[in-house]
Amino acid sequence: VRADDMMPNIPKTPRQRKEPMGVLEQARARLHVSAVPESLPCRELEFGNIYSFVEGRLLDGTGGCMYISGVPGTGKTATVHEVLRCLQEEVDESNLPEFQFVEINGMKMTDPHQAHTQILKALTGQKATPEHAAEILDKRFNTPAPRRESTVLLVDELDLLWTRKQSVMYNLFDWPTRPQAKLIVLAIANTMDLPERMMMNRVSSRLGLTRMTFQPYTFRQLQEIVMSRMKGLQAFEDDAIQLAARKVAAVSGDARRALDICRRATELAELAKTPGRKTAALVNMTHVDTAVQEMFSSPKIMAIRNASLQEQLFLKAVVAEFRRSGLEEATFLQVFQQHECLCRLDGVTVPTMSQLSGVCSTLGASRLLLVEVGKSDLSQRVRLNVSQDDVMYALRDNN
């Protein structure tokens, strides 16, 4: 594999894949997160900023760093990719000098030091150990080469490149400051205060103050994103999209979530289609609502309702014990005594201790309870992982 004559490959299918047919299937194909549109709606300002930053550095032939932050699913990576695509078009029309684009992702390597290897591989195609690669890169960025083209380096998931000595981060932000390097680094991470929180002073000072934050999407923006993907396709009722957008914006403002909900809603609409008619109806509010319920609702109450009688009694006993002691933690023995009382009250056969510890560990396995390892036996501590009110609510309707 080290010699590059072997190309990794997943075999092709012997069969042609079906093209999406029908309105709902087309809608689903467009709503898939991977179907990134040509231009991202609602990120024009950020696009402009990054574009002008990179363009300026390219024209000047200098280097620089930019730190981009924002919660997941706000379009950071997609925007940067779009910027680079646009710049590439400009280069093709020879309005800009040529540049080389390298992308690394902190999550896609096994060790922070692998970053060096991957950058070197992308730049020259050489393979080397991380230490050796760092040396070669260092030499490359230090030696003046007047005809060298600029390099744009995108570092995704920057926080994972953290090491104790922070040598990887230091290198990444130090190289652009060299006069001959012509390196532009775009670093992406989730937290806004990462440079102050995690980096040493000498690293964060090299990162500089060119920063940009991607705000979570508002519901209007989410709505626009979905609408723009649905352009020219009548699959959704307008209110349905708005409901999805509002629900997601209230929780996280993650565009991936909104798209997933809409996609699931199209599936539900397809399932609900009356068999007689050829075309399915539009996706309406109820479908979106069901999809939202499926994705956001907590199954704990359903789990409690479907538990066996002894499991339910055990949960009740835990709550009863908490109420008695006023603490949020009880030992297994205390709960056992409460359980005994509850069983006698309900006229159920009292289970043996072994049986009950089985019940306890079942509940612990599905994380309705938080329990210690079974080794501590009677003095094993039990806590609830659901609120007491939820337990009582779930069990009230049963009887």
Partner 1 sequence: MSKRKSSGSAVVSESACYLELQKVLRQQIYKISAPCDVDGESDLDKPRRHLLDLIQRCSSMGESNSALIIGPRGAGKTMLLSSVLEDLKENRDFRDNVLEVHLNGLLQTDDRIALKEITRQLQLENVVGDRVFGSFADNLAFLLEALKKGSRDSQAVLFVLEEFDLFAHHKNQTLLYNLFDIAQSQQAPITVIGLTCRLDVIELLEKRVKSRFSHRQIHLFNSLTFDQYLEVFESLLTLPSEFSDKKFCAKWNKHVQNLSEDQGVTSILKKLYDTSKDIRTLKTFLMLPVARISPSHPRLEMADFVEAHKLLTADSKSNTLHGLSVLELCLVVAMRRLSDIFVNQPFNFQMVYNEYQKFVQTRSHAVQSFDRPVVLKAFEHLQQMELVRAAEGSGTGGRGQKEFRPMLLMIDKSQLMQAIQKYPACPTEAQARVQV
Residues numbered 333 to 352 that lie near partner 1 (CB under 8 A) are: 333, 336, 340, 348-349, 351-352
Whichever of 7 and 45 has its CB closer to partner 1, that residue is: 7
Quote the least distance from Cβ 355 to partner 1, whole Å.
Answer: 5
The answer to whether the CB of 262 falls within 8 A of the CB of 236 is yes
The answer to whether the CB of 385 falls within 8 A of the CB of 299 is no
* Interface with partner 1, residue 164, by CB under 8 A: no
* Interface with partner 1, residue 220, by CB under 8 A: no
Residues of this chain, 276-305, that bind partner 1 according to CB under 8 A: 294-296, 298-300, 302-303
Burial of 218 (0-12, 13-18, 19+ CB in 10 A): middle
Quote the least distance from Cβ 237 to partner 1, whole Å.
Answer: 22
Q: Which two tokens stand for residue 233?
A: 């396709």
Quote the least distance from Cβ 310 to partner 1, whole Å.
Answer: 5
Q: Which residue has the tokens 């560990």?
A: 361
Instruction: Mark residues 56-95: x for contact with partner 1 by CB under 8 A, - for none.
Output: ---------------xxx----------------------
Whichever of 2 and 165 has its CB closer to partner 1, that residue is: 2
d(CA 82, CA 74): 14
Which listed residue (327, 341, 353, 392) binds partner 1 by CB under 8 A?
353
The answer to whether the CB of 212 falls within 8 A of the CB of 46 is yes
* Interface with partner 1, residue 126, by CB under 8 A: no
- Interacting stretch for partner 1, rule CB under 8 A, among 134-142, 216-224, 264-272, 281-289? 264-272
Q: Angle between the 238-251 and 285-296 helix axes, to the nearest 10 degrees?
A: 20
* Interface with partner 1, residue 388, by CB under 8 A: no
- Interacting stretch for partner 1, rule CB under 8 A, among 53-61, 205-213, 281-289, 359-367? 359-367
Cβ count within 10 A of residue 314: 26
Residues of this chain, 11-50, that bind partner 1 according to CB under 8 A: 11-15, 17-18, 20, 25, 28-29, 32-36
Whichever of 218 and 252 has its CB closer to partner 1, that residue is: 252
List C-alpha distances in Å: 231 to 224, 234, 270: 10, 8, 20
Q: Which amino acid is at 152?
A: V
Distance of CA 110 to the CA centre of its chain: 19
Strand partners, 154: 103, 186
* Interface with partner 1, residue 247, by CB under 8 A: no
Q: Which two tokens stand for residue 88?
A: 């590439």
Residues of this chain, 105-124, that bind partner 1 according to CB under 8 A: 107-111, 114, 117-118
* Interface with partner 1, residue 398, by CB under 8 A: no
Residues of this chain, 190-209, that bind partner 1 according to CB under 8 A: 190
* Interface with partner 1, residue 308, by CB under 8 A: yes
The β-bridge relationship of strands 150-156 and 330-331 is: unpaired
Quote the least distance from Cβ 217 to partner 1, whole Å.
Answer: 13
Which listed residue (89, 92, 149, 377) binds partner 1 by CB under 8 A?
377
Q: Which residue has the tokens 């003095």?
A: 379
Q: Angle between the 44-60 and 76-92 helix axes, to the nearest 10 degrees?
A: 50
Number of residues in contact with partner 1, rule: CB under 8 A?
82
d(CA 145, CA 86): 27
Which listed residue (200, 209, 327, 378) binds partner 1 by CB under 8 A?
378
The β-bridge relationship of strands 211-214 and 64-70 is: parallel
